[in-house]
Structure 1
Amino acid sequence: MIRKASIMFVYKDCYEEYKKRHNEIWPEMVTELKTHGAHNYSIFLDEETGRLFAYLEVEDEEKYAQMADTDICKKWWAYMEPIMETNPDNSPVSIDLKDVFYLA
């Protein structure tokens, strides 16, 4: 498994809505994530700054990258766009973090 982590940004007045939408994640989105090799996906919120810390494990980088090209992913991005910082294609503004330490 490949461990991945990133930082995204949710608007401060949208914390509850962000949590609600993820609590009600669409089953087809979950299916597509798993189809593209995602496991152990967690997102944590720093309420002081609106920063989101995302962690997941993927089977294969290329396979997971293809998730961005799916219709359901694009639909999810459009759904989330009003409540978080996004790029022009509605994908979340995301900063990939470099793996520097791991204790198994």
Structure 2
Amino acid sequence: MINHAFRMKLKPGTVDEYRRRHDTLWPELADALRGAGIYDYSIFLDEETLHLFAVLKLRPDDSSASLPAQPVMQRWWDSMADLMETEPGNRPREWPLTPMFHFE
């Protein structure tokens, strides 16, 4: 198992809509994430800064690097672009987070 954590950023006034869209996550996107070896995926919000902190687990044989090329992933990014800071192509801007502590 591999942990992957990163930060993203919402635009002001979009918190409720961001939550609503994730509460109705497309089944085909969920299938693509699972198929790429992603599981136990959580996103947390810092309401003061609008930063999102994502943490996911990857199976050792994951193929998550192939997700950006999948049409369902591109459609999801396009549908979320009005809510988030994005890169060209509407991929959400991501800032990697460095592991500092883990307790089991």
Fold match by TM threshold 0.5 = yes
Q: Which residue of 1 aligns with 2:57?
A: 57
Q: Which residue of 2 aligns with 1:25?
A: 25
Write 1 or 2 for the structure with the bigger share of helix: 1
SS at 2:78's partner residue? helix
Return closer, same or farther for 1:92/1:61 CA change in 2, 3 Å cut-off.
farther
1:102 aligns with 2:91: no
Residues 7 and 94, structure 1, Cα contact 8 Å, conserved in 2? yes
Q: Which residue of 2 aligns with 1:85?
A: 85
The one-letter amino acid paired with 2:24 is E
Return closer, same or farther for 1:64/1:103 CA change in 2, 3 Å cut-off.
same
Runs of 4+ in 1 over 6 A off after TM superposition: none
Deviations for 1:8-67, whole angstroms, at most 9, x for unmatched residues?
001120000000000000000000000000010000011111100000001148611111
Question: Equivalents in 1 of 2:12, 2:50: separation in Å?
Answer: 6
Return closer, same or farther for 1:61/1:4 CA change in 2, 3 Å cut-off.
farther
**Percent same amino acid among aligned pairs?**
37
Deviation at 1:101, TM superposition (A): 2.0
The two structures have a TM-score, normalised by structure 2, of: 0.95
Residues 38 and 62, structure 2, Cα contact 8 Å, conserved in 1? no
Deviation at 1:99, TM superposition (A): 1.8
Number of corresponding residues: 104
RMSD over aligned Cα atoms: 1.2
Question: Equivalents in 1 of 2:63, 2:19: separation in Å?
Answer: 27
